[in-house]
Amino acid sequence: MMKIAVLTGAGVSAESGIKTFRDSDGLWEGHDVMEVASPEGFERNPEVVLDFYNQRRRQLLTVQPNAAHRALAALEKMHEVTIITQNVDDLHERAGSTNVIHLHGELLKVRSTFDEDLILDWKEDLNLGDFCENNHQLRPHIVWFGEMVPMIEVAADVVARADAVIIVGTSMQVYPAAGLVQYAKPDAHIYFVDPKPSISESKRITVFAEKASIGVPKVVELLK
């Protein structure tokens, strides 16, 4: 049984209908990213930020995992698999993956603005006036620009112990997540799945220049 670390990004969920992080014009659903994904944006206009994530949350509840999510879940039957995702959706979990690290938070959770460790499951709209038990406003449980990525060290340790690393649907351009692959052992094989791969094939790296739903099942077949 191998230890396998899987790094996933927006490309995994795009085929389920989840919109990728930002469009080619740099806007996210027509918003300046810093207005809806920074502590300063939330302080300036909390209603806009809450509405933005309410729309994302509602959409998430209408979509389903795809073949890539399901293939990664099936890999758990054969190996020790940890998924490290930049995605804030729960599609890996819904597909059956049991060991998922969310680097950038989770859309179906909220947390207290007073105590960041006070985290609640949340599937409804989140509005101004929704308070935690300490009477402070709740906010999306999302890691915004300028905030610490609390799970990054845990993720680095997982990659460092892995016998193989699978990278799916991420350009590996967004730090600190992009730096994770550097922790891989010299003899750990790397499988890269992306329609427009940003790295080249080598003795150590196998590239599948395909969308996630096609490429991931092929990687899983190789690792059986």
Q: How far apart are CA 208 and CA 206, in angstroms?
A: 7
Q: Using 50, 70 and 90 to split pLDDT, how confident is the model at 175? A: low
65: CB partners within 8 A, 6+ apart: 16, 73, 91, 92, 94, 95
Distance in angstroms (rounded) separating the CA atoms of residues 200 and 197: 7
d(CA 115, CA 216) in angstroms, rounded, equals: 38
Segment 206-223, tens digit of pLDDT: 999 999 999 999 999 999
* Maximum CA extent, the chain: 57
DSSP string, 82-95: EEEES--S-HHHHH
* Short-list 61, 176, 168, 75, CA closest to 108: 61
pTM for this model (two decimals): 0.93
Band (170; pLDDT cuts 50, 70, 90):
confident
Q: What was the pLDDT predicted at 178?
A: 75
Residue of 69, 92, 102, 104 with catalytic role = 104
Q: What is the Cα–Cα distance from 88 to 110, expressed in whole angstroms?
A: 12
Mean residue pLDDT across the chain: 92
Alpha-carbon distance of 10 to 165, in angstroms, equals: 17
Above 80 in pLDDT, residue 134?
yes
Pull the structure tokens for residue 168: 């799916």
Which residues have C-beta within 8 Å of that of residue 30, sequence separation ≥ 6? Answer: none
Beta bridge partners of 205: 190
State yes or no: is 136 an active-site residue. Answer: no
Q: Would you call 10 helix, strand, or coil by DSSP?
A: helix
Q: How far apart are CA 53 and CA 50, in angstroms?
A: 5
Rounded average pLDDT over 111-140: 97
User: In the sheet where 119-121 sits, what is the strand order?
Assistant: 119-121, 105-112, 138-142
Which of 211, 209, 210, 206 has its CA nearest to residue 222? 206
Judged by DSSP in three states, 191 sits in strand
